[in-house]
Amino acid sequence: MAFDITPYINVSPAEVRAKIRKGEIDFPTAGMCRGYAQANLVILPPDYAADFKEFAQRNPFPCPILEIIEGTPKTHTMGEDGDITTDIPRYRIYRDGVFTDELTDVSDYWKDGYVGFLIGCSFSFEEALIAAGVEVRHITQGCNVPMYKTNIATVQAGPFFGPMVCSMRPMTPENAQIAKAITEKMPNVHGAPVHMGDPAEIGIADVMKPDYGDAVEIHPGEIPVFWPCGVTPQAAVENAKPPIVITHAPGHMFITDVKNAELNDYLEAQKQK
């Protein structure tokens, strides 16, 4: 499905979050709010939150934690007056590990004791790739990024385990090396690629049939380049089978108030506190 992010490229995160809250935006957020970091979401009942936090800490590249939200669904460090139940264009509900609903507002589902996790997103490094002259195909084509379940295993924590999900961007081998050099310096938004080249080597049978998102064109002379993806928790949720989990729909992110260029230093400073 094609969509147009052009009106939202140079708009502030607070303005875009307000439009999402009103239901004016219900499509993927890649390329919106130029300069600002985006985040994946997982909301869990209290009995599962500690194990999920441990899972994220054991798998920091697919699941880098940006903020943990407790008490109310309001964000603080990642977005002043943001709300993780209304400010994402589309959400997914999983019941006992099974995806059951896709909604644009989940405020009625939030309960006392629930814990939300905002997780770093590869959309945050795409700005740096484009600035370096590396084309990002799903943005060019106006569609969602392709994402795949791989044969790369995550490290289990409690009931949470499963395959690493990877996002893919096709590039020339030269641009792939440029992208690697840029993204390995950005560990809080998935870091360097985990694989370049033959998709079969990481268990992907058909690169034109992603598990999430949309297929994109791969031009002659290009190779697929795979990064750890924040949809990985959704695969782990299918195995952990909590009674209910709320996530973002793949490609539909929470846009933060923190700039991509400042994210790593910001998070390091938060850790020191």
CA atoms within 13 Å, Cβ hemisphere of 164: 25
Q: What is the pLDDT of residue 267?
A: 81
- 254 and 247 Cβ atoms separated by less than 8 Å: no
Q: Are residues 244 and 223 in the same domain?
A: no
Q: Are residues 78 and 181 in the same domain?
A: no
pLDDT tier at 261 (50, 70, 90 boundaries)? confident
- 137 and 144 Cβ atoms separated by less than 8 Å: no
Q: Are residues 24 and 102 in the same domain?
A: yes
Residues 130 and 140: their CA atoms lie apart, in Å, by 11
Q: What is the pLDDT of residue 1?
A: 57
Indicate the pTM of the whole model: 0.91
Pairing of strands 36-44, 115-120: antiparallel
Most confident of 5-14, 127-136, 152-161: 152-161
Q: Is 161 helix (H, G, I), strand (E, B) or coil?
A: coil
H or E stretch covering 156: none
Between residues 2 and 67, which one has the greater pLDDT? 67
Q: What is the pLDDT of residue 187?
A: 86
Over residues 13-43, the pLDDT tens digits come to 999 999 999 999 999 998 899 999 999 999 9
Task: With respect to residue 217, please indicate whether it lies within any of the assigned structural domains.
Answer: yes
User: What CATH number is given to the structural domain containing 222?
Assistant: 3.30.2040.10
Over residues 33-90, the pLDDT tens digits come to 999 999 999 999 999 999 999 999 999 999 999 999 999 999 999 998 899 999 999 9
**Where in the sequence is the domain holding 196, given as residue range(s)?**
125-232
Pairing of strands 147-153, 115-120: unpaired
Q: Are residues 189 and 251 in the same domain?
A: no
Q: Are residues 253 and 240 in the same domain?
A: yes
Q: Are residues 211 and 142 in the same domain?
A: yes
Task: With respect to residue 1, please indicate whether it lies within any of the assigned structural domains.
Answer: no
- Per the prediction, the chain carries an average pLDDT of 94
The alpha helices in 31-122, defined as continuous H runs, are: 46-58
- 171 and 118 Cβ atoms separated by less than 8 Å: no
Q: Are residues 214 and 255 in the same domain?
A: no
pLDDT tier at 245 (50, 70, 90 boundaries)? very high
**Among 179, 204, 52, 191, residue whose Cα is nearest residue 116:** 52
Residue 259 has pLDDT above 90, yes or no: yes
Number of H helices, E strands in the chain: 7, 11
Q: Are residues 132 and 200 in the same domain?
A: yes
Q: Are residues 223 and 169 in the same domain?
A: yes
212: tokens are 């999430």
Q: What is the pLDDT of residue 2?
A: 63
User: What CATH number is given to the structural domain containing 13?
Assistant: 3.40.1640.10
